Structure 1
Amino acid sequence: MRRLGKILLAVIGVLLVLPVVLVLAGWLALNVKPGQDAIARLAMGFVPGLTIENLHGGLPAAPRIGRVVLSDSQGPYLVIEDIALDLDLLRLTSREFRVANLSAGKVTFSRLPVPDPNAPPAPASEPGPLLPQIPQLPVQVALERLALPHVELGAAVAGIPATLSLEAGGRLGADGVFLGAKGRRLDAPGALDLDMALAPGERVKINLRYDEPRGGLVAGLLGKPEQATRVAVALDGPATGAGFTLSADMGETARVQGRGTLSLPAGGGVGLEAAGDAALGGFLPAPVAALRFDLRTLPAEGGATRIERARVETGAATVELRGTVGPNLDVAFDARVNDANTLAGLVPPTVGWGGIEAKGTVTGTTAAPELRLDATLRDPRLPEPAPGLLGPAPTILLRANEQRVHELAVNGRAVTLRAEGAFGETLDLTLNAALAAQDVPNVPVRGQLEARARVTGPVATPAVALDASSPSLEAYGRRFEGLRLEANLPNATVPAGALNLSARLQGLNLTAEARAAQEGDRLRVETLRAALGPARLEGRGEFDLSRKLGTADLLLEAADLAPLTPVAGMPLGGAVRLSAKLAPQGAEAAGRQGIEAELRATNLRAAGQVVNGTVQASGTDAALDVRGDVRALDGRATLRARLALDQPDKRIELSALDVQRQALGIRLSAPATILIGAKGGFSTPGLALQGRPGGALRVAGRWGPDQADLRATLSALPLSVANLFVPDPPLSGTLSGEVRLSGPVARPGIDGELRGTGLRSGAPWGRNLPEGALTATARMRGEQVETRAEFRLGRALSLNLDARVPSDFKGPLSATLRGNTDIAVLAAPFLLGGANRVAGTVSIDARAAGTVQAPQISGGARIAGGSFRNLEYGLALRDIAGNLRGDMDRIVVEGITARAGTGTLTARGEVRPFAEGQPIEMTVAGQNLAPVSSDLFRGAFDADMRLTGMLARGMRLAGTITTRSSVIGIPEGLPGGVADIGEVREVGRGAPPPPPGTAASRRGAARQASAAAPPPGAAPLQLDVTLRAPGQVYLRGRGLDVELGGDVRIGGTISNIESQGALRLRRGTLTVLDRRLTFQRGVLTFQGDIASPEIDLLATSRASSTTINVTVTGTPRAPKIEFTSSPELPQDEVLARLIFNRSADKLSPFQIAQLARVLSGAVAGGQEDPVTGFFGRVSRTLGLDRLGVGTGADGTPGIEAGGYLGQGIYLNVDPGTSTGSPRVGVEIELTPRLKLESGAGTDSQGAGLTYEYEY
Structure 2
Amino acid sequence: MKRVLPLTAGLLLPVALIAQDTENTDRDRSMIVGFLEDNLSGAGRDIRIEGFKGLLSSTATMEELTIADETGVWFTLRNAELDWSRTALLAGRVEVTRIAAEEILFERLPETTDEGIDVPDPEATPFALPDLPVSIDIGAIEAERVRLGAPVLKLGEAVELSLTGSAKLADGSGETNLQIERIDSKEGQFAVVVSYDNDSDVLDLDISLNEGAGGLISTLGNLPGSPPLSLTAQGAGPLVDFTADIALATHGEDRLTGQIALRADPDPDAPADTAAPRRFSADLSGDLTPLFSADYAQFFGPSSTLTAAGVSYPEGGFELDRFALSTRTLSLVGSTTIGADGWPSAFSVSGTLESPDDRPVLLPFGESRSMVQQADIVAKYDVTRGQSWSANIDVSDYAQDGLTIASARIGAQGTITQQSTATSTALGAIKARFGLTVQGLASDDPALQASIGDAPALTGEVYWREGEPFLIQSLEARTDATRASASGQINGFDTGFEFTGTLGLDTPDLSRFAALSGLDLAGATSATAKGSISPLNGTFDIEAEATGTDLRTGIEQLDALIGGSSDIRLSAKRDETGMTLRPSTLKTAALDVSANGALKTDTGALNLTARLDDVSRLGVALSGPLTLEAEMAHSGADSPWNTRAVMNGPGGSTATLSGTLAQDMAQADLDLTGSAPLGLSNRLTSAALTQGTSTFNLGINGPLALSSVSGQVQVTPGGRIVISSAGLALTVNRAVATLNGEQAQLDFDASADTGGSITASGQVGLSGALPVDLTVGLNTLGLSDPQLYETSIDGDLSIAGSLTGAANISGALTLGETNITIASAGLGSGGDIPDILHRGAASGVTQTRDRAGLIQTDSGGGSSAVYGLDVTVAAPNQIFVRGRGLDAELGGRIRVRGTTADVIPVGQFSLIRGRLSLLGKRITMEEGSITLQGELDPILYLVAETETDTLTVQLITEGPLSAPELTLSSSPELPDDEILAQLLFGKDLSEMSALQAAQMADAVATLAGGGSGLVGSIRDSFGLDDLDLQTTEEGASSLKVGKYISDSLYTDVSIDNEGKSEINLNFDATDNITLKGSASSDGDTGVGVFFERDY
Shorter-chain TM band? 0.5 to 0.7
Partner of 1:619: 459
Partner of 1:1192: none
Structure 2 counterpart SS, 1:586? strand
Deviations 1:494-531 (A, max 9, x none): 995799xxxxxxxxxxxxxxxx99758887796499xx
Is the Cα–Cα contact under 8 Å of residues 890 and 910 in structure 1 kept in the other structure?
yes
Is the Cα–Cα contact under 8 Å of residues 483 and 506 in structure 2 kept in the other structure?
yes
Deviations 1:1047-1083 (A, max 9, x none): 1416534xx5735334242234444554444443334
For the pair 1:779 / 2:633, whether they are aligned, the reply is yes
Structure 2 counterpart SS, 1:191? coil
Map 1:1179-1194 onto structure 2 (within 5 A): none
For the pair 1:657 / 2:452, whether they are aligned, the reply is no
Report the AA paired with residue 647 of structure 2. F
Partner of 1:306: none
Partner of 1:699: 570
For the pair 1:1002 / 2:852, whether they are aligned, the reply is yes
**Distance in 1 of aligned mates of 2:805 and 2:328:** 59
Question: Residues 929 and 985 (structure 1 numbering): CA distance in 2 closer, same or farther, change over 3 Å?
Answer: closer
Report the AA paired with residue 701 of structure 2. A
For the pair 1:424 / 2:225, whether they are aligned, the reply is no
Partner of 2:811: 959
Offset, 1:1133: 0.9
Question: Residues 695 and 937 (structure 1 numbering): CA distance in 2 closer, same or farther, change over 3 Å?
Answer: same
Report the AA paired with residue 810 of structure 2. A
Question: Residues 541 and 430 (structure 1 numbering): CA distance in 2 closer, same or farther, change over 3 Å?
Answer: closer
For the pair 1:845 / 2:693, whether they are aligned, the reply is no
Return the match for 1:1139 from 979, 984, 988.
984
Structure 1's unaligned 5+ residue stretches are: 1-153, 164-184, 193-208, 229-250, 259-277, 293-336, 338-342, 350-365, 374-399, 406-420, 432-452, 464-487, 500-515, 530-535, 559-576, 631-637, 721-731, 1176-1255
Deviations 1:376-402 (A, max 9, x none): xxxxxxxxxxxxxxxxxxxxxxxx952
Deviations 1:792-827 (A, max 9, x none): 22444121111312233444x221122122112x12
Return the match for 2:408 from 578, 582, 594.
582
Partner of 2:832: 980
For the pair 1:828 / 2:682, whether they are aligned, the reply is yes
**Distance in 2 of aligned mates of 1:819 and 1:827:** 16
Question: Residues 984 and 836 (structure 1 numbering): CA distance in 2 closer, same or farther, change over 3 Å?
Answer: same
Structure 2 counterpart SS, 1:1003? coil
Question: Residues 859 and 162 (structure 1 numbering): CA distance in 2 closer, same or farther, change over 3 Å?
Answer: closer
Q: CA RMSD in A?
A: 6.2
Is the Cα–Cα contact under 8 Å of residues 947 and 957 in structure 1 kept in the other structure?
yes
Partner of 2:671: 816
**Distance in 1 of aligned mates of 2:289 and 2:960:** 77
Partner of 1:121: none
Deviations 1:308-346 (A, max 9, x none): xxxxxxxxxxxxxxxxxxxxxxxxxxxxx9xxxxx9974
Structure 2 counterpart SS, 1:930? strand
Question: Residues 894 and 828 (structure 1 numbering): CA distance in 2 closer, same or farther, change over 3 Å?
Answer: closer
Partner of 2:994: 1149
Number of paired residues? 704
Partner of 2:760: 907
Question: Residues 457 and 912 (structure 1 numbering): CA distance in 2 closer, same or farther, change over 3 Å?
Answer: same
Question: Residues 912 and 780 (structure 1 numbering): CA distance in 2 closer, same or farther, change over 3 Å?
Answer: farther
Return the match for 1:191 from 23, 42, 48.
23
Offset, 1:1123: 1.4
Partner of 1:798: 654
Structure 2 counterpart SS, 1:939? strand
Offset, 1:848: 3.0
Is the Cα–Cα contact under 8 Å of residues 1034 and 1044 in structure 1 kept in the other structure?
no
Is the Cα–Cα contact under 8 Å of residues 658 and 666 in structure 1 kept in the other structure?
yes
Is the Cα–Cα contact under 8 Å of residues 791 and 816 in structure 2 kept in the other structure?
yes
Structure 1 counterpart SS, 2:718? strand
Partner of 2:782: 930
Map 1:76-115 onto structure 2 (within 5 A): none
Return the match for 1:717 from 561, 564, 587.
587
Structure 1 counterpart SS, 2:835? coil
Report the AA paired with residue 1081 of structure 1. E
Report the AA paired with residue 789 of structure 1. A
Question: Residues 1024 and 678 (structure 1 numbering): CA distance in 2 closer, same or farther, change over 3 Å?
Answer: same
**Distance in 1 of aligned mates of 2:404 and 2:691:** 61
Deviations 1:1147-1199 (A, max 9, x none): 22133245456668962499999xx9999xxxxxxxxxxxxxxxxxxxxxxxx
Question: Residues 1106 and 930 (structure 1 numbering): CA distance in 2 closer, same or farther, change over 3 Å?
Answer: same
Q: TM-score, normalised by structure 2?
A: 0.52
Question: Residues 646 and 369 (structure 1 numbering): CA distance in 2 closer, same or farther, change over 3 Å?
Answer: closer
Question: Residues 1110 and 665 (structure 1 numbering): CA distance in 2 closer, same or farther, change over 3 Å?
Answer: same
Structure 1 counterpart SS, 2:982? helix
Specify which structure has the bigger relative contact order, considering alpha-carbon pairs within 8 angstroms and separated by 6 or more residues. 2
Is the Cα–Cα contact under 8 Å of residues 869 and 877 in structure 1 kept in the other structure?
yes
Report the AA paired with residue 779 of structure 1. A
Is the Cα–Cα contact under 8 Å of residues 798 and 809 in structure 2 kept in the other structure?
yes
Report the AA paired with residue 625 of structure 1. E
Offset, 1:899: 3.3
Structure 2 counterpart SS, 1:844? strand
Structure 1 counterpart SS, 2:684? helix
**Distance in 2 of aligned mates of 1:1167 and 1:994:** 36
Partner of 1:254: 49
Structure 2's unaligned 5+ residue stretches are: 1-7, 54-61, 77-106, 115-142, 151-182, 189-211, 232-247, 251-287, 300-326, 333-351, 363-368, 380-390, 417-429, 463-473, 492-496, 512-521, 550-563, 1011-1028, 1037-1095
Structure 2 counterpart SS, 1:254? strand
**Distance in 2 of aligned mates of 1:618 and 1:642:** 12
Q: Percent same amino acid among aligned pairs? A: 18
**Distance in 1 of aligned mates of 2:856 and 2:63:** 61
Question: Residues 840 and 1028 (structure 1 numbering): CA distance in 2 closer, same or farther, change over 3 Å?
Answer: same
Question: Residues 960 and 225 (structure 1 numbering): CA distance in 2 closer, same or farther, change over 3 Å?
Answer: closer
**Distance in 2 of aligned mates of 1:947 and 1:597:** 70
Offset, 1:585: 1.2
Deviations 1:818-859 (A, max 9, x none): 2122112x123335xx57422121122222324445526245
**Distance in 1 of aligned mates of 2:26 and 2:847:** 91
Map 1:1086-1165 onto structure 2 (within 5 A): 1086-1090=932-936, 1092-1156=937-1001, 1163-1164=1008-1009
For the pair 1:1052 / 2:902, whether they are aligned, the reply is no
Question: Residues 345 and 902 (structure 1 numbering): CA distance in 2 closer, same or farther, change over 3 Å?
Answer: farther
Structure 2 counterpart SS, 1:1033? strand
Return the match for 2:186 from 391, 395, 403.
403
**Distance in 1 of aligned mates of 2:702 and 2:405:** 60
Partner of 1:877: 730
Report the AA paired with residue 254 of structure 1. I
Report the AA paired with residue 711 of structure 1. L
Structure 1 counterpart SS, 2:1008? coil
Offset, 1:1087: 3.3
Offset, 1:874: 1.9
Deviations 1:1210-1233 (A, max 9, x none): xxxxxxxxxxxxxxxxxxxxxxxx
Question: Residues 1153 and 524 (structure 1 numbering): CA distance in 2 closer, same or farther, change over 3 Å?
Answer: farther
Question: Residues 1038 and 892 (structure 1 numbering): CA distance in 2 closer, same or farther, change over 3 Å?
Answer: same
Offset, 1:644: 9.1
For the pair 1:159 / 2:13, whether they are aligned, the reply is yes
Report the AA paired with residue 402 of structure 1. S
Deviations 1:515-564 (A, max 9, x none): x99758887796499xxxxxx99975548899996625458999xxxxxx
Is the Cα–Cα contact under 8 Å of residues 881 and 887 in structure 2 kept in the other structure?
yes
Offset, 1:983: 0.7
Report the AA paired with residue 596 of structure 1. T
